[in-house]
Structure formats: C-alpha cells, structure tokens
Amino acid sequence: MTTATARISRPGHTAAKPTRNARSRERALAWARRAPLLPALIFLILVTQLPFVVTLIISFLNWNSLSPNKTAFAGFENYVTVLTDPDLRQAIFTTIILTVSVVLASLLMGLGLALLLDKKFIGRGLARTLLIAPFLVVPVAAALIWKHALLNPTYGLINGILTWIWSLTGSDTPPQLDLLSQAPLMAVIVSLVWQWTPFMMLILLAGLQSRPMDTVEAAQMDGATPWAIFRHLTLPHLRQYLEL
C-alpha cells in the first residue's frame, strides 16, 4: 500500500515539466499571433516617432534648411524665443478655439448622422458611402479643394451658388464672400469639421449597432418616448465611444 502510494505520488513531482512546456508553448503561440503585426508596428514607429525625435533634436539647433552646413548648437534659445514671443498667447487662444470648435461640431454632427444611418431606409448603403468619403480625402487635397473649388472669391462654388440665387431675384450685385481673408479661422474650422465628421460618425455608428436591442424594444413596449430611450439607454451606452 505504501509502495503504491509512493509510486503514484512520485510522478506528481515531474508534472511541472508539462506545465512549463505548456506555458512556453502558449508564449510561442502568443508571439506567433503578434508577429504579423510587427511590420505595421515598426512602420508606425518610423513614421510617427522618428520625425518627433528629429524635430526634438533640431529644436536645440540653430538650423537653416537653406544652408544646413552652418548648423550650430543653440541650447534653449529657440524655446526662449517662442515663450517670449508676444503672439504666443494669441496662438494658444486660437488653437484652443480651433480644437474645441472642431471636436464639438464634428461630434454633434457625427452623432446626428449616426442616428440617421442607424435607421433602415432606401439607399442607406449609398448614403453611408458618400458620407464616409470626406474622411478618405488626403488633408492636403482637402485643403486645396476648400481653398480653390469652394471658398475662392472669384470662381468658388459657394460664391457661384450665391450669384445664381441672387440672379433669380433680379439682383446684379450678389454678395461675394471671402472667408479666406475675412474669416480665415472660420474657413479652417469648416474644412476640418467637414473632414472629421465622418470619423465621429463611424465610431458612434459602431456603438449604436452594438446596443442590446432587446432592452430598447422592452423600453418601447413600456411606452418610453424616443427622447427617453436616447437619454437613458443610447447615450449611456455611447459614453465609452464618446470618450474616444
């Protein structure tokens, strides 16, 4: 009896080897799953972090791109110049206004479009594709489109539409908007909202389509209004998506 017990308990001492092998196998499988992502990760680091490091290095140099051979170490002189610039406060204020305006406007418009696309209607797929299109435009191309095709005071589309509307009323002096020179910040805000609203729409639409519909249907059967469903069910569910 004792001998049998000893023989049974002895293999338990060697049971750690399969456990270690299993852990190493799981570790190898985990690295195998991550391996296909390494090229994209390396590319992302090179594209984003390498320019940041180069910019940080150049910030401590007296750099002239026209004559790079005359580069000299400047220390914190560039930072002192920026911090003592009288236009720094206005630049910070403009940046805050630009950021807050673009984020809020894109978020509200994206939420409205996401709620619209969450409903079933004819042509929803086409509408979704057309609404996503501005987000796929390269920022440089978007800037050129807004500068020349839309906001140009001479041949821009917006002034062309205003001229056509005023011609219907018999007026020969239609208003000629020149937002690029009269309100440049507003022109930039409008173009950025146009480009980033589809991004907000995609995120919020994904959140809407992940809602538990049984809860929404139960609320509808209990007589809840659409506003109550949006306020107490939809909006709390979208909170994690809004925080993105």
One domain, residues 78 and 189: no
Question: Which single residue is written with the structure tokens 């908007």?
Answer: 177
One domain, residues 102 and 5: no
pLDDT (tens digit per residue) in 128-176: 889 998 888 888 888 888 888 888 888 888 888 888 888 888 777 777 7
Phi and psi based region of residue 122 (left: phi greater than 0; alpha: psi -120 to 50; beta: remaining): beta
What was the pLDDT predicted at 244? 67
> Across residues 37-41, what is the average pLDDT?
85
What was the pLDDT predicted at 201? 92
What was the pLDDT predicted at 139? 87
What confidence tier does 24 reach under pLDDT thresholds 50, 70, 90? confident
Instruction: Give the integer Cα–Cα distance in Å for 55 and 74.
Output: 14
- Contact call for residues 238 and 204 (beta carbons, < 8 A): yes
Residue 204: partners with Cβ closer than 8 Å, 6 or more residues away: 110, 111, 114, 238, 241, 242
What was the pLDDT predicted at 1? 45
The pLDDT mean for the chain works out to 84
One domain, residues 202 and 244: no
Instruction: Give the integer Cα–Cα distance in Å for 116 and 124.
Output: 9
> Across residues 213-225, what is the average pLDDT?
85
Q: Is the pLDDT of residue 7 over 50?
A: no
One domain, residues 68 and 96: no
One domain, residues 95 and 203: yes
One domain, residues 231 and 138: no
CATH classification of the domain holding 96: 1.10.3720.10
pLDDT (tens digit per residue) in 93-112: 999 999 999 999 999 999 99
Q: Is the pLDDT of residue 40 over 70?
A: yes
One domain, residues 205 and 91: yes
- Its pTM stands at 0.69
Q: Which helix (H) or strand (E) holds 123?
A: none
Task: Note down the domain range covering 57.
Answer: 1-84
One domain, residues 79 and 124: no
- Among residues 28, 50, 84, the one where a domain terminates is 84
Q: Could you give the number of structural domains in the chain?
A: 3
Instruction: Give the integer Cα–Cα distance in Å for 95 and 189.
Output: 11
